[in-house]
Amino acid sequence: MEQRDLWSLERQYRQQGLAFLCGSDEAGAGPLAGDVYAAAVILPFGFTPEGLNDSKRVSPKNRDRLYDVIREQAVAWAVVSVDVAVIDERNILNARLLAMDRAIQALDPAPQLALIDGNRDKGISCPHLAVVKGDSISANIAAASILAKVSRDRYMEEMARKYPQYEFERHKGYPTKRHYELLRRYGPSPIHRKSFLKKFYQREGQA
């Protein structure tokens, strides 16, 4: 299968003299538990690892492979997490934007323009552009989505060893039927997002 061109957006800005563009994306906005992760990546211009795509469209095996390739070949990359306390205090939107901003700020060299996945960009403190569905049209954003997703999945597997009763290795903290069953049985863990559980406990009559 021919590799899709994921460089058309970056190419436009490169023609305007912007040589260092990064992509940034996050993973873990929807789960009931665990930190939110973000990554920022500057790939060599035109470099498209085989199978690169939005992390949700890539198998776990290929995500792991791409994770290694991206970290080895990138001009710069960074992965940052924001913990549950900040998510509960600031809300998930602000927490995920904070994580992306921190990841971008950690890059060396610093990007001239950051391409941000999605349509929200409040709090991004450098020149940037919000790109809807950016992880499927930009190589740099797709690469960031892979790093963020793999990093968060590995973190949740670590949390599964710490809190085995919640089976985090299966659902990664997302609101599955099984996850709710385990919440009813054991109550919340220290890494559950209290702000995400309010409606659940209201339905359960435990508010």
Length of the chain: 207
pTM confidence score: 0.95
80-134 per-position pLDDT tens digit: 999 999 999 999 999 999 999 999 999 999 999 999 999 999 999 999 999 999 9
Residue 116 within a domain: yes
11-14 CB contacts, 8 Å cutoff, 24+ apart: 13/113, 14/45
Q: Distance between CA atoms of 189 and 169, rounded to whole angstroms?
A: 15
Q: Provide the number of structural domains found in the chain.
A: 1
Task: Give the CATH number of the domain where residue 152 resides.
Answer: 3.30.420.10
Residue 170 within a domain: no
Residue 204 within a domain: no
Residue 199 within a domain: no
Helix (H, G, I), strand (E, B) or coil at 39: strand
- What is residue 206's predicted lDDT score, i.e. its pLDDT? 61
Residue 133 within a domain: yes
Instruction: Print burial letters for 118-130: b (CB count within 10 Å at least 16), e (below 16).
Output: beeeeebeeebee
Question: Could you tell me whether strands 21-27 and 76-82 are parallel, antiparallel, or unpaired per DSSP bridges?
Answer: unpaired
> Which residues in the chain show pLDDT less than 50?
1-2
Contacts of 42 (CB under 8 A, 6+ apart): 20, 21, 22, 74, 75, 76, 77, 107, 109, 111, 140
- Residue type at 152 in one-letter notation: R
Q: Distance between CA atoms of 125 and 117, rounded to whole angstroms?
A: 15
Burial of 108 (0-12, 13-18, 19+ CB in 10 A): exposed
Hey, what are 179's tokens?
A: 């996850």
Q: Determine the structural domain holding residue 12 and report its residue range.
A: 8-159
Residue 186 within a domain: no
Residue 16 within a domain: yes
Strand-pairing partners, residue 5, are none
Residue 122 within a domain: yes
CA angle 40, 107, 68 (to 5 degrees): 55
Alpha helices per DSSP H over the chain = 8-14, 60-73, 84-90, 92-105, 139-162, 168-171, 177-186, 194-203
C-alpha R_g of the chain: 18
